[in-house]
Amino acid sequence: MMWLNIVWYALFVIIIAGYLIMDGFDLGVGILHPFLAKNDDERRISLNSIGPVWDGNEVWLVLGGGALFAAFPMVYASLFSGFYAAMMLVLLVLILRTVAIEFRSKRPSPRWRTAWDWVFFASSLGIALLLGVAFGNIMQGVLLDAQGNIGGTLLNLLNPYALLVGVTTIFMLATHGAIYLSMKTEGELLARVKRWVPRLMIIFFVLNTVLVFWTVLGHDAIADRYLQMPLLVLFPAAALAAVIAAWLMVRRGRYFVAFLLSSAMIAGLLFSAAIGLYPNLLISSIDVQYNLTIFNAASQANTLTIMLIMAVIGMPFVLLYTAGVYYIFRGKVQISSQSY
């Protein structure tokens, strides 16, 4: 029943890709919020572009944690104990972002609103950075011992490679958020967004290129995976093509197509990393024999089977509900007295 492990690995990657795409543009809007919007009306438009969907998008993160807990419990236990301080910081900034969105427009005071605008920015930036740093540590390996315990402190996680992944994640999501805003804004704000998109793409492209070379040169297992199966390079190549095409679509005013291409870029990059890691979920920098893989860290076959049946039944309803919400709230943002 090894195919069940592979299926759940693929499903887990798809769920995480769903989170990065769906909540990723929320975070990107937050990262750009104080800089793109120049007055209170524009900042309200920025907030209301994500207002109907941001809290639902976070469900993908909960779903990813639940899938990891049920399918690969040993990895879940190692991550949430070894990255405990980092996880608490993620929860803190998630709470701060929620509070900023809900509190920001409760009072008309410019000082009040400006303060919450910066909290919204800082918390969105913090989530993107922390998630990128966590993924960077997973990519390069952690101090994982034979019992599945991760050693080190929070400072050990803030190493140069992981920080580069974190900064790259910030600009990836900022680009994604800017493309999303192009669908929801008009007038001067839209013109400003369109000027920012290529700048953000260039910075992201440079950072991601440096990251790819560092990964290939410094992580032999990942490089060997692509050398053994050269056709797998189609995934990162497709991600590159998608981001270039997204820029062209923004220039032509086809903003929804650009957003789909930006989403494909994020999914392509995540699948490229997942292919490089396979079959590992957590790599030990102490001894490769301690690696947690999709085979030695998975639940029993009957558990994976029951979960797969539940996923096949439940996921279509989740996707239909999500599609329905986005369809209802499609189009440009129009603010009213009931808006954020």
Mean per-residue pLDDT of the chain: 91
State the pLDDT at residue 1: 63
> Lowest mean pLDDT: which of 105-114, 161-170, 207-216, 228-237?
228-237
Rounded CA-CA distance 18/59 in Å is 10
Rounded CA-CA distance 15/263 in Å is 13
Give 178: exposed, middle or buried? Use CB within 10 Å, 0-12, 13-18, 19+. buried
Question: Taking 90 as the threshold, does the pLDDT of residue 224 lie above it?
Answer: no
Average pLDDT over residues 202-225: 87
> Domain residue spans in the chain?
2-328
Rounded CA-CA distance 109/325 in Å is 32
Residues in CB range of 56: below 8 A, 6 or more apart: 322, 325
State the pLDDT at residue 219: 78
State the pLDDT at residue 80: 87
Rounded CA-CA distance 167/136 in Å is 11
> Lowest mean pLDDT: which of 61-75, 223-237, 257-271?
223-237
Q: What is the pLDDT of residues 278-298, one digit of tens each?
A: 999 999 989 889 999 999 999
Q: What is the pLDDT of residues 182-199, one digit of tens each?
A: 999 999 999 999 999 999
Rounded to an integer, what is the distance from CA 340 to the centroid of its chain? 24
Question: Taking 90 as the threshold, does the pLDDT of residue 210 lie above it?
Answer: yes
Is the link from the previous residue into 279 a cis peptide, with omega within 30 of 0?
Answer: yes
Name the one residue in this structure whose structure tokens are 């009072």: 107
Q: What is the pLDDT of residues 23-81, one digit of tens each?
A: 999 999 999 999 998 899 999 999 999 988 998 888 899 899 999 999 999 999 999 88
* Region label for 261, one of left (φ > 0), alpha (ψ between -120 and 50) or beta (otherwise): alpha
1 vs 319, higher pLDDT: 319
